[in-house]
Amino acid sequence: MSPDRDQNAAGEGSPRRLFVYNGGFLTQPRLKRILSLAGYQVRIGAPGPGDMVGVWGASPTSHRGLGVAERRDAPVLRVEDAFLRSLHPGRAGEPPIGLHLDRSGVHFDASTPSDLERLLADAPLDDTVLLDRARNAMARIKEADLSKYNAHDPALPVPDPGYVLVIDQTEGDASVTASGADKARFREMLVYAQEQNPGAQILIKSHPETEAGFRPGHFDAQDESDRVRIYRDPVSPWALLDGAIGVYTVSSQLGFEAILAGHTPRVFGAPFYAGWGLTIDHTDLPRRARKLTKPQLFAAAMILYPTWYDPFTDSLCELERVLDILEAQVDAFRTDRDGWVASEMRLWKRKPLQSVFGQQKKMIFEDRPDRARASGRPWMVWAGKATADHAGAVRVEDGFLRSRGLGAELVPPLSLVLDDLGIYYDPTQPSRLEHWIAEREVLRPDQRRRARDLIGFLTASRLTKYNLSGGLGDIPQGHRVLVPGQVEDDASILKGTGEVCTNLALLEAARAARPDAVLIYKPHPDVEAGLRKGKIDASGLADVIADQADIAQLLDQVDEVWTMTSGTGFEALLRGVTVTTLGAPFYAGWGLTTDLGPVPDRRTARPDLEGLVHAVLIDYARYFDPVTGQACPVEVVAERLASATLPRRGVGNRLLAKLQGGFATYAHLWR
């Protein structure tokens, strides 16, 4: 059962046999798995004492199960998709991320009280923690532009504000039938909309399943006029609601979202959200006498009622985890839906890039800028290879929780960043990351909680960018200062440093500023592996040379970090370690570090650590789960790295990495 429900719905904490008579229960693995986790063992045959019958809502096959249940005197479990379902409609074959498991009725049929109606009527919906969760989730859903189905395009323009929105639904929809509605009722609603809003433009929003060709709607071309038109574009429902001056619906979930968006919709059916004082109802609902607020309605419908599922951990979860997952998957879909053409991608990177960015349309790899532009697709280029010829291309680079192993050793990344403004390591121009950091100067409570939980998990699990193991050795007592070496021809050094731009100069500056400190020099892993430039003799300046040491263990032992632009400075901030920068890394200039380098004046926002972490690790980077092959939230990658639940690299990749290492002296020829 979902963690937000009081007890196992199957009762007594033991699995209960659920007999079904609809093939979908047996052929859809996700459906069967959620039921199993909720305490129901799906079976076929005849139920006996203590067994239940499962039916899918009010589907055309539900009469089979209802007949068996009546004859056998067995209780019924009504199963339906939750109000946040997936990217595409279920008829497109995509499994749901949550279900409604209702033992009383079905939420869209007001003829019998459902579990949801009982929650709305009787549950103590005044708990401060619950209502805070509801308010935060409502804001988050709107910010992420989420709905039941999410294949819409937030970038599509909507009509000029001032229209009246009339919501169409599909013919045969169970909620329409349960409301006793038909085409005549929909046309009556359209007449009301015109009469009550003289002179206003009327937009009839068609249903996604209608536009996908699965089922017809109730309106067609004959309903259009000089004032009325059917609107078919897959636009954001939130943007559409923002521009409406009135909303009319029979029983659509978009009516529920209209309430959350601040409307008081006119309702011509009997959906779950009608009758609670938040709608103007054209149907009498005498049982529903309680007056609810928007957060109370949301809390019952989205937190307490559904059974939510996490496909990455194969477990039931709370709404907040589902929002993490949907945000990641919806963002990936919307970014990749038109396909990509990519330039300057090394051969070994192309397969992992295809796995991440090519799930909607196969990527095209083309290094000639003229041909890349002529493809008509969105264009990406590896950030370190970008030149003036790549103007207009989106920059791509490894993320900040990358892998267990080095990119220079051909270990594929688990996180990548896309930047349409610049790239995070180049302070000579604004980047999308700078935008996010400024945006997160103020956080909602749920955002702060998520960032804080992530910081706690990363530090407790000792996770860093590459997650390399290694011994630490003895470190002398005293004020310990860690100086992380860098690859000296790295783009962040070339773009983001001033007078101090070499490892030796950095070490000399740290020694001059901290003459009595225990100076610990940590060579960069790529340099240690002989794959990149930056090797120095640090023995005359450093007290300890931490060859092959685990950077996470080092950070647990030091008081300060001095760096040019190393990501180690960011990892130090997560652990509460003081950081001094002599360059302009992405985390400098925001008031969290002591900056001695050329930090851009435009960095005027003052986020706290949680705001910085939210921007860097949650908003900016994209994550790929190598186990499921799906886009995922940062927490999934962190959990995989912490548990080492990662596929092994192929033999060919390992051999190529060894061959590259053998020719490291000539790395300039292929970089």
Nearest-10 Cα torsion for 590, 593, 594, 595: -50
Kindly report the pTM of this predicted structure: 0.91
Residues forming beta bridges with residue 128, ordered by sequence position: none
The pLDDT of residue 198 is: 96
CA distance 635 to 618: 9
Cβ-in-10-Å burial (0-12, 13-18, 19+) of 291 comes to exposed
> What whole-number distance in Å separates Cα of residue 14 and Cα of residue 12?
6
Contact 139, 145 (CB under 8 A): no
Residue with tokens 């038909």: 182
CATH number for domain 437-643, candidates 3.30.70, 3.40.50, 3.40.1000, 3.40.190: 3.40.50
Quick one: the chain helix, strand, coil %, rounded to 5?
35, 15, 45
Quote the CA–CA distance of 292 and 295 in Å, as a whole number: 8
Residues 6+ apart with CB under 8 A from 6: none
Give the whole-angstrom CA distance, residue 329 versus residue 102.
28
Residue written as token pair 């860690």:
482
Buried b / exposed e over 184-199, threshold 16 CB at 10 Å, is ebbeebbebbbeebee
Q: Could you tell me which CATH number the domain at 149-291 has? A: 3.40.50
Q: What is the pLDDT of residue 3?
A: 66
What is the predicted pLDDT for the residue at 434?
A: 98
pLDDT of amino acid 647? 65
Task: Give the per-residue pLDDT at 340.
Answer: 98
Residues shown for the chain: 671
The ranges of the chain annotated as CATH 3.40.50 are: 149-291, 437-643
Residue type at position 268: F
What's the CA gap between 175 and 170, in Å, rounded? 10
Give the list of residues 6+ apart from residue 588 with CB closer than 8 angstroms, or none: 569, 581, 595, 597, 599, 603
Question: Could you tell me the mean pLDDT of each successive run of 10 residues in the chain, 671 residues long?
Answer: 54 79 93 97 95 92 94 97 92 92 96 97 96 98 94 92 97 92 96 96 92 90 95 94 98 97 97 98 95 98 98 98 97 97 95 96 98 97 96 96 69 94 97 98 97 98 83 88 94 93 96 97 82 84 90 94 97 98 98 97 98 98 95 97 73 46 46 46
Structure tokens belonging to residue 439:
């945006």
Determine if residue 467 is left, alpha or beta; phi over 0 gives left, psi from -120 to 50 gives alpha, anything else beta: left
User: How many Cβ atoms from other residues are within 10 Å of residue 57's Cβ?
Assistant: 18
By the 10 Å C-beta count (0-12 exposed, 13-18 middle, 19+ buried), 212 is classed as middle
